[in-house]
Amino acid sequence: MISLTSPVRTRAQDWPAGAKLAALCLVSTGLFLARGLPVQLGALAVVAVLYALPGPVFLRAGLRSLRVVLPFVVVLLVWHGVLGDLRGGLVVVLRMVVLVALANLVTMTTALEELVDLLSWLLTPLRRLGLRTQPLELAIPLVLRFTPVLVARAGRLAEAWRARSRRRPGWQLILPMTLLALDDADHVGEALRARGGALPPLDDD
């Protein structure tokens, strides 16, 4: 899941988060069972229509957030080309793009609070077994929240690099990105500790 929220209001935002995630699981299972290229192309066409229906603003925002998938697409196609299985590589790439796009579509049309509530409900059986689920309930929303933030920061670092050098940015951005991520993690950790931490105290009984 890449994006966080949609820039425009859509009908899908009124649908239950559980129904959308259940549909995502079913579609994911179906795409992994279907190995034919026509099925993957058809799924890609359907996803493109789903992104286009809410309008050009939604479409541009969705496509912009999916740019992070492009390096993986290139690597997979090159690798399968070297192996002499370009058709198989296309199937893998199309499946990956469709699934990431659908997951991104879910996050764009689902409030983070709804995802947190759904996750808490799904973890109810573990809590009844006496397991602490609070760290997981906290970690997953943090990942969803900070993934687009880190992507945006990587984009700003790349722009700063291009403004100062004619060479394309590459591995040189790894260290500053790592430092930024660690700095964000440190600030989030301090904020959590200031609010009592992620774990509640154990009950005496």
Tens digit of pLDDT for each residue in 32-74? Answer: 888 788 999 999 999 999 999 888 888 888 888 788 788 888 8
In this structure, are residues 6 and 109 in contact, taking their beta carbons and an 8 Å threshold? Answer: yes
pLDDT band of 183, cuts 50, 70, 90: confident
pLDDT at 197: 59
Residue whose structure tokens are 């925002």: 61
Q: Which two tokens stand for residue 205?
A: 């009984």
In this structure, are residues 110 and 20 in contact, taking their beta carbons and an 8 Å threshold? Answer: yes
pLDDT band of 204, cuts 50, 70, 90: very low
Q: What is the pLDDT of residues 25-39, one digit of tens each?
A: 999 999 888 878 899
Average pLDDT across the chain, whole number: 80
Per this entry, what is the length of the chain?
Answer: 205
Q: How far apart are CA 40 and CA 98, in angstroms?
A: 8
Residue 126, CA atoms < 13 Å, CB-side half-sphere:
12
DSSP 93-104: HHHHHHHHHHHH
The mean-pLDDT minimum among 61-70, 85-94, 105-114, 136-145 falls in: 136-145
Whether the model pTM is above 0.85? no
pLDDT at 166: 77
pLDDT average, residue stretch 109-126: 80
Q: How far apart are CA 192 and CA 45, in angstroms?
A: 43
pLDDT exceeds cutoff 80 at 172: no
Q: How far apart are CA 148 and CA 103, in angstroms?
A: 14
pLDDT at 47: 92
